[in-house]
């Protein structure tokens, strides 16, 4: 499913789009798991007697990450042939699962997320910088009304493909890497599509002004293990998905 044109666009512009590639049954499973993990997060917020944790805001926007080992559905998806093919064609002969999370915006008031690079968040969190890739998996139809992702291609703000400075927004806990006037390219895709972009690609998401939740699942893969600068241990995961050109499965380990 990944063509030479997809790879060239990723390398030149920092992103590419694989439209409608997640099969219907798998998509249904991911949607169900997303709702299950929202309920778990709400119980966690209840236990702390808070409505905000990190950049998660109850009944507004949710970022639920690094829970895949609690779900056979997610274990299967993250290492299935579709994801193996994407990772191999974009990253090459050796690659690792780095991180994963559900990102959900609630209807009418789901907050936007400011312009940023994923590498900007990694740098602020104390990771070693290694090249990595984000797969934004649309669990619902994505459009401008429900807060789709917007992309700024490399040529518009970052021709050298560098990690740019990010400032902390105390009100939202966002890290902001761009404050200019460019709107970016809105990614309008049906549910089951995957937007693939680099850790140095500037992107944002809009507010959800629609009548329904806007759900996405984010899977990130790296060329080398991404380590914490202090502990030298994996910051999240470092599980091979491609090793010396051969596909690997989570259940192999």
Asked if residue 253 is part of any domain, the answer here is no
Asked if residue 251 is part of any domain, the answer here is no
Taking residues 138-167, report their average pLDDT: 95
**What confidence score (pLDDT) does residue 187 get?**
97
**What confidence score (pLDDT) does residue 170 get?**
87
**What confidence score (pLDDT) does residue 253 get?**
64
**What confidence score (pLDDT) does residue 120 get?**
86
134-149 pLDDT, tens per residue?
999 999 999 999 999 9
Q: Picking from 18-27, 157-166, 215-224, which range would have the lowest pLDDT averaged per residue? A: 157-166
* Adjacent-strand bridge partners of 195: 17, 136
**What confidence score (pLDDT) does residue 112 get?**
87
Task: Give how many domains the chain has, as a whole number.
Answer: 1
Q: Which two tokens stand for residue 6?
A: 């997809």
Domain hosting 218: range is 4-246
- pTM here is 0.93
**What confidence score (pLDDT) does residue 188 get?**
98
Distances in Å between the Cα of 166 and the Cα atoms of 41, 54, 114, 121, 163 are: 28, 17, 11, 8, 9
Which residue has tokens 């090249």?
131
**What confidence score (pLDDT) does residue 176 get?**
94
Asked if residue 252 is part of any domain, the answer here is no
Asked if residue 196 is part of any domain, the answer here is yes
29-49 pLDDT, tens per residue?
999 999 999 999 999 999 999
Q: How many residues does the chain have?
A: 253
Kindly indicate the confidence band of residue 155, based on its pLDDT and cuts at 50, 70 and 90: very high
* Adjacent-strand bridge partners of 104: 62, 215
DSSP state of 142: B
- Percent of the chain exceeding pLDDT 70 equals 99
Asked if residue 198 is part of any domain, the answer here is yes
pLDDT, mean over the chain: 93
CATH code of the domain in which 56 resides: 2.60.120.620
Taking residues 3-32, report their average pLDDT: 97
Which residue has tokens 């998401």?
205
SS3 216: strand
């Amino acid at each position: 499913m990944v063509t030479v044109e997809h790879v060239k666009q990723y390398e030149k512009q920092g992103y590419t789009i694989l439209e409608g590639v997640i099969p219907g049954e798998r998509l249904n499973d991911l949607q169900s798991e997303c709702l299950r993990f929202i309920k778990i997060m709400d119980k966690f917020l209840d236990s702390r007697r808070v409505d905000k944790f990190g950049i998660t805001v109850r009944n507004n926007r949710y970022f639920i990450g690094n829970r895949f080992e609690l779900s056979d559905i997610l274990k299967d998806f993250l290492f299935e042939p579709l994801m193996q093919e994407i990772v191999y064609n974009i990253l090459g002969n050796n690659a690792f699962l780095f991180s994963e999370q559900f990102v959900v915006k609630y209807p009418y008031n789901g907050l936007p997320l400011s312009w940023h690079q994923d590498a900007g968040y990694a740098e602020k969190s104390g990771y070693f910088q290694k090249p990595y890739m984000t797969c934004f998996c649309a669990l619902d139809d994505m459009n401008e009304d429900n807060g789709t992702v917007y992309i700024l291609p490399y040529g518009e703000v970052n021709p050298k493909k560098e990690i740019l400075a990010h400032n902390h927004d105390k009100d939202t806990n966002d890290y902001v890497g761009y404050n200019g006037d460019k709107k970016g390219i809105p990614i309008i895709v049906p549910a089951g599509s995957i937007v693939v972009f680099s850790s140095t690609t500037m992107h944002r998401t809009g507010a959800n002004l629609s009548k329904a939740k806007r759900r996405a699942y984010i899977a990130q893969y790296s060329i080398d293990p991404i380590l914490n600068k202090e502990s030298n241990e994996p910051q999240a995961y470092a599980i091979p998905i491609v090793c010396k050109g051969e596909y690997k499965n989570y259940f192999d380990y």
